[in-house]
Amino acid sequence: MTRHLLGCFGREKALPFKLFLERHPVLNRLIGSPLNAGLTLLALWFLFVSAPPFLEWAFLDAAILPATPANCADSDGACWSFVIAKARQILLGVYPFDLQWRPITVCIMILGLLAYSVHPQNWKSKLLYVWVIALATIFLLMAGGLFGLTAVPTSAWGGLPVTLILTVVAIGGAFPISIVLALSRRSEMVLIRILSTLFIELVRAVPLLSLLFVASIMLPIFLPEAFLPDKFVRALVALLLFASAYLAEVIRGGLQAIPRGQFEAADALGLSYYHKQRFIILPQAIQVVIPSLANTVIVMIKNTSLILVIGLFDMISAGRAALADPEWQSPAVETYLFVSLIFFMLSFSFARFADFLERRNASMQS
């Protein structure tokens, strides 16, 4: 206010530097006030202290090529040689070496389909069939046992394909279930409402770890061998149920944000419950909660790595197995950084996709 008045009376020339500082968009924030100046100094000091050693470790002193144990032993920096030499093992786990073209194909298929699916012009019912066929092929490729493909037990699966399959199937399957759960929880039919609430609250109240333990250890005690699905499938179902309970609550939040008038207008037009939800309420409800949906999905992508506790191999456990090689000096930090980078790429891509959806909706409707 004062600044504005000064400007009005043309007295800004009296204090040129101070005014220049106040009006400069960047400098004002960095050193505009004593507090900001102090924080800027602190941040600079921190960068000065931490950045050079990190850069030295990660790049200047790092052992990269040749990817041999000797190369790493000679250097003080990061041992990227290990990651390069073991990349295949970290990414594919203990899958039989000669058959690794199969999990590689699976990864390419899933990533390719995901890239195809994010384009709005491909959102047709055809896409669903494509995914169903693709998933059947993916399981066939991974498990084998048909069409002359050597059978590979799920205990030998590992790494990136496991992470991708779990993510896609658990979240893809959880989404429709969560919609049904969210609608049921708001249903006027008491029994349906109670059942849905019970399910959501029970699953939410339990740590994912215990759910996975139940799936892997408890179920075999209750169920006869013949009815017992494979351990991988059990873990998949546990993840799917967990994700659906969380997603259901997110979607319920969206449903509650829809004004009553939208329901009334749909009712007044004679739309059935199904059509009303499908065309009017759910599209708007989901649109409202895209940020929280993305949040939940990203948490779930990373939750898939918890399957290591029941003896299945995701990328982290595959990385740990690789570290056990006595020839190398166990460069754990480098390995986890590498795995983190892959998780980051998956999660960040999804975050960008969610962001794209938000901006698309915003630009369409205003």
Partner 1 sequence: MTIQTITENKPQSDEWTSEASVTQPAIRMQNVDKWFGDFQALCDVTLDIHPGERVVICGPSGSGKSTLIRCVNRLERHQKGKIVVNGVELSDDVKKIEDVRRDVGMVFQGFNLFPHLTVLENCVLAPVWVKKTPKAEATDLAMNLLKKVRIPEQATKYPGQLSGGQQQRVAIARALCMSPKIMLFDEPTSALDPEMVKEVLDTMLALAEEGMTMMVVTHEMGFARQAANRVIFMDQGQVIETQEPEAFFSSPRHERTKEFLNRILT
268 binds partner 1 (CB under 8 A): yes
Q: 63 — phi, psi (to 5°)?
A: -95, 120
271 binds partner 1 (CB under 8 A): yes
CB of 280 to partner 1, least distance (A): 6
Which of 61, 230, 264, 355: binder of partner 1 (CB under 8 A)? 264
Place of tokens 């649109």: 287
Peptide bond into 69 cis (omega under 30): no
DSSP per-residue string spanning 197-255: HHHHHHHHHS-HHHHHHIIIIIHHHHS-GGGPPPHHHHHHHHHHHHHHHHHHHHHHHHH
265 binds partner 1 (CB under 8 A): yes
CB of 189 to partner 1, least distance (A): 12
> Which lies closer to partner 1 via its Cβ, residue 224 or residue 259?
259
25 binds partner 1 (CB under 8 A): no
And the tokens for 123?
Answer: 């959102």
DSSP per-residue string spanning 48-105: HHHHHHHHIIIIIS-B-SS-SHHHHHH-SS-BHHHHHHHHHHHHHTTS-GGGTHHHHH
> Which lies closer to partner 1 via its Cβ, residue 235 or residue 290?
290
359 binds partner 1 (CB under 8 A): no
Q: Considering only 74-82, 152-160, 264-272, 344-352, which stretch makes contact with partner 1 by CB under 8 A? A: 264-272
275 binds partner 1 (CB under 8 A): yes
CB of 265 to partner 1, least distance (A): 4
DSSP per-residue string spanning 178-198: HHHHHHHHT-SSHHHHHHHHH
16 binds partner 1 (CB under 8 A): no
> Which lies closer to partner 1 via its Cβ, residue 146 or residue 364?
364
Place of tokens 């799936």: 215
Dist. CA 322–CA 343, nearest whole Å: 18
361 binds partner 1 (CB under 8 A): yes
Place of tokens 């693709």: 134
Dist. CA 288–CA 354, nearest whole Å: 12
> Which lies closer to partner 1 via its Cβ, residue 98 or residue 188?
188
293 binds partner 1 (CB under 8 A): no
How many residues sit close enough to partner 1 to count as binding (CB under 8 A)? 22
195 binds partner 1 (CB under 8 A): no
CB of 285 to partner 1, least distance (A): 10
Q: Considering only 39-47, 170-178, 215-223, 276-284, which stretch makes contact with partner 1 by CB under 8 A? A: 276-284
CB of 258 to partner 1, least distance (A): 10
Dist. CA 362–CA 96, nearest whole Å: 49
> Which lies closer to partner 1 via its Cβ, residue 108 or residue 257?
257
187 binds partner 1 (CB under 8 A): no
And the tokens for 97?
Answer: 């070496």
CB of 295 to partner 1, least distance (A): 22
Site for partner 1 in 203-262 (CB under 8 A): 259, 261-262
Closest CA to 239 of 272, 213, 266: 213
Dist. CA 181–CA 203, nearest whole Å: 12
> Which lies closer to partner 1 via its Cβ, residue 72 or residue 266?
266
CB of 342 to partner 1, least distance (A): 35
267 binds partner 1 (CB under 8 A): yes
3-state class (DSSP) for residue 272: coil
Dist. CA 99–CA 117, nearest whole Å: 28
Dist. CA 208–CA 199, nearest whole Å: 14
269 binds partner 1 (CB under 8 A): yes
State the amino acid at position 80 in one-letter form.
W
Residues of this chain that interact with partner 1 (CB under 8 A) are 259, 261-262, 264-272, 275, 279-280, 283-284, 287, 361, 364-366
